[in-house]
Structure 1
Amino acid sequence: MTAAEISRTGHPVCVGTEQHTPGNIAVWIFIYAELTEFGFFFLAFLVAKLYFPEDFHAGPSQLNTLAGLLNTLVLLTSSFCIARAVEAIKHGAQRRTVVWLLCTVAAGVTYCLIKAWEYQWNAAMGLTSRTNYFFTSYYYLMFNHFLHVVIGTVTILATAVLTALGHFTPNSHEGLEGAASYWHMIDLVWILLFPLVYVLR
């Protein structure tokens, strides 16, 4: 092993121009399955919008756009944090990796709290899943994404614990990359959800 293959921390790191796909094939099959599921949800949303244009035109203006915007910022920040965690483990910075992972967990929890506040706000405004077809679609999409955020947050927390226990190293961190890829998928779906549900009429 050459000196160029040793990081500043003294740990071996991957070098060269060979592209590396994060995670493993099982993780990506799961991610593609989840994206396909959300794709069908989006399609159903658009079809319902076609059949009930009045409900879907008025619906976004009744939502708490601030809550949606705040959660967009939270999830974008979480993507940065999880990316930094992956970069840190590649350089053998175990403690820094754990910190970034916990920041991602904090972002996930923050998302859930904001979403809970949004649901309470909706209830106070008399907006439920039975209000009209728009809100039926809204709650179905939002709850499904919320569930994925909860699962992702628990997964990242477990990854942080494993990292603290030394399970991941610069040369063996496939599980961490898989968890990060899943989290990025959650963020990507939200980036599509926010304008579709909160903005477009």
Structure 2
Amino acid sequence: MDLAASAVPVEAPTVPGNRGIWVGILCELSEFALMFLAWAWFRHVHPDDFHAGPAMLNAGAGIANTVVMLTSGYLAVRAVLAIRRGDGIAARNWLIATLCGGLAFLLIKAFEFRWNIEHGVVGTGNSFVAMYYYLTFNHLVHVVWGCLGLIWAILRAQFGAYSAADHEGLEAAVLYWHATDLAWIVIFPLLYVLH
């Protein structure tokens, strides 16, 4: 008996999303890695600024945004699970919920920036504050891009572009969203917790 002929073909595991999104995520995470190195350098050179820095910030806003990012990441996972079951309507609804989380992040961040200005937390003369704005504005831009990707995926889901067998674009949007979550999970303790 020829064992090779009787073997059941095994499909190679597939990587979620597509190559393009993985290149984008690699670029995003590389950019943030360089920013984290800059943060470490400035912390080393200006330890007093970084020791006093977290007390200057609105910790409640940082905590709220962390909860929002983690919750929206969970909602994004639910969208992928729904489309893998072939439930396009549920996937779209989970994506809409994820987008609402992204919009909530942006609103909280706008409130926080306004609070900062009212309390004199401006980016001049203090290396911690400068790094705070550098990291958070960069992250904010990535959240906006993530929201735009989610809107695109929502529209495609609305018009039935995704199925259980073909949902690469939905996965790509979710993967980008998770990369943005990951960046925030590092930013939060660096800016709001570590003294």
Question: 5 Å matches for 1:21-170?
Answer: 21-170=15-164
How far did 1:154 drift? 1.3
Aligned to 1:191: 185
Match of residue 7 from structure 2: none
Secondary structure of the residue aligned to 2:163 is coil
2:175 to 151, 162, 181: 181
RMSD: 1.1
**Segment drifting more, 176-185 vs 126-135:** 126-135
- Aligned-pair distance for 1:99? 0.6
Q: Which runs of 5+ in 1 are unaligned?
A: 1-15
**Cα drift, residue 157 of structure 1:** 1.2
CA distance in structure 2 between the partners assigned to 1:120 and 1:173 by the alignment: 39
Question: What is aligned with 1:5?
Answer: none
Q: Distance in 1 between matches of 2:28 and 2:120?
A: 32
| Gap regions ≥5 residues in structure 2 | 1-9
Counterpart of 1:64 in structure 2: which amino acid? N
Cα offset, 1:19, TM superposition = 3.2
2: distance between equivalents of 1:110 and 1:95? 23
TM-score (norm 2): 0.93
- Structure 1 residue 20 corresponds to structure 2 residue 53: no
